[in-house]
Amino acid sequence: MSKSTFTALDVYKILPQTNCSKCLLPSCLAFAAAVVAGRKKLEDCPDLAANIIAEFAAKYQQTGEMEVGQAEFIDKLQKKMLATDLEAVAPLIGATVQDDRLTINSLGKDFVFDHQGNMTSECHIISWVLAPALSYITHKTHADISGKWLSFREIKGGIEWQVLFTSRCEEPLRQLADDNPDLLNDLIDLFMGKAIDWYEADIALVLHPFPKIPILICYQAPEDDLESKLTIFFDECCSTNLHIKSIFTLCSGLVQMFTKIAEQHL
């Protein structure tokens, strides 16, 4: 969390304010100050509910050291592209190369990259795809799809990003599915998704944002007094093929795109 995006008072307001010292600090105000200074995390308060943490993370969108300036991040990735052997990496990531240009299929659409890391496509350019795609191409390690599904927190580095992932990916998509009952089924047709029947859910579908980054979206509609539930799972290979920051950026971008689709009443 960033020191400049919220104050100790902002943190103190959401704390239990019992001064229980379970966080090993003498008071809730001291804990709030430690959070702002980066010495403690909200999760270090055992009595602070997960939904409160998620709401706080959504309100204060910066995450300090975890968030790298997007322009700076893309610049670093484009420099890595210059040193990447496209012919060698293409079969490892499920891509193809022609005329020194690498083509990756994302959700049924082809995106083409040159050695400078510039991206083109026959469809309209989706800006949030660029950073995760470059990260996918230049990643040091590669693995094939395993068929074993993991929750976000089970991915390497996922626990640190879990609160943000819940507030910006799973929770908004759950609400979107609640408000637009046909949306998830529409995604199957729009983005070459595949419905599955082996997971107990009202809707369960697999999408491929990148060839070797499959994600599984499982949604249970609300019933009687039970709230709806939505969980996004990842193939075990995802953490080998993409850094956790890029997995988060990819999913966040997908949710933003799905939201725009829903607004168009598809």
Distances (CA, A) of 141 to 69, 212, 217: 24, 12, 25
- 155-171 per-position pLDDT tens digit: 999 998 888 899 889 99
Co-location of 118 and 180 in the same domain: no
Q: Which of 97, 112, 138 is the last residue of a domain?
A: 138
pLDDT, position 5: 61
Phi-psi sector, 55: left (phi>0), alpha (psi -120 to 50), beta = alpha
- The DSSP annotation for 130-189 comes to HHHHHHHHH-S------S-EEEGGGSTTHHHHHHHHIIIIIHHHHHHHHH-TTHHHHHHH
Residue 199 pLDDT exceeds 80: yes
Burial class (CB in 10 A: 0-12, 13-18, 19+), 82: exposed
Mean pLDDT within 87-103: 97
Residue 190 pLDDT exceeds 70: yes
The mean pLDDT of the chain is 88
- In a domain, residue 144? The reply is no
The total domain count for the chain is: 3
Statement: the pTM of the whole predicted model exceeds 0.85: no
pLDDT, position 32: 86
Q: Which of 113, 138, 163 is the last residue of a domain?
A: 138
Spatial neighbors of 260 by CB under 8 A, at least 6 apart, are none
pLDDT, position 1: 39
- In a domain, residue 249? The reply is yes
Co-location of 173 and 259 in the same domain: yes
Co-location of 204 and 220 in the same domain: yes
- In a domain, residue 1? The reply is no
pLDDT band at 233 (very low <50, low <70, confident <90, very high): very high
Mean pLDDT within 219-243: 95
Helices (H) and strands (E) in the chain, counts: 11, 9
Co-location of 79 and 113 in the same domain: yes
Domain extent, residue 13, equals 8-66
Q: What is the CATH number of the domain that holds 36?
A: 1.10.15.40
- In a domain, residue 85? The reply is yes
Co-location of 132 and 188 in the same domain: no
- In a domain, residue 235? The reply is yes
Torsion, CA 88, CA 89, CA 91, CA 94, rounded to 10: -160
Spatial neighbors of 173 by CB under 8 A, at least 6 apart, are 217, 230, 232, 255, 258
Say how far residue 263 (Cα) sits from the centre of its chain.
21
Co-location of 111 and 162 in the same domain: no
Co-location of 59 and 85 in the same domain: no
pLDDT, position 121: 87
pLDDT, position 258: 92
In the chain, beta strands by DSSP E: 96-98, 101-106, 109-113, 119-121, 149-151, 194-195, 203-210, 213-220, 229-235
pLDDT, position 265: 61
- In a domain, residue 120? The reply is yes
Co-location of 157 and 225 in the same domain: yes
Burial 178-203 (b: 16+ CB within 10 A, else e): eebeebbeebeebbebeeeeeeebeb
Residue percentage of the chain with pLDDT more than 70: 92
pLDDT, position 69: 62
Residue 75 pLDDT exceeds 60: yes
Beta-bridged to residue 229, according to DSSP, are 220
pLDDT, position 125: 56
User: For residue 93, what are its two tokens?
Assistant: 């990531």
Co-location of 75 and 155 in the same domain: no
- In a domain, residue 3? The reply is no
- 113-154 per-position pLDDT tens digit: 999 999 998 776 577 889 999 999 999 999 999 999 999 999
Co-location of 161 and 109 in the same domain: no
Beta-bridged to residue 205, according to DSSP, are 195, 217
Co-location of 158 and 232 in the same domain: yes
Q: Which of 102, 117, 138 is the last residue of a domain?
A: 138
Co-location of 154 and 243 in the same domain: yes
- In a domain, residue 143? The reply is no
CA distance 193 to 38: 41
- 2-39 per-position pLDDT tens digit: 334 677 788 888 999 999 999 998 888 888 888 877 78
pLDDT band at 255 (very low <50, low <70, confident <90, very high): very high
CA distance 87 to 90: 6
pLDDT, position 73: 84
Residue 238 pLDDT exceeds 50: yes
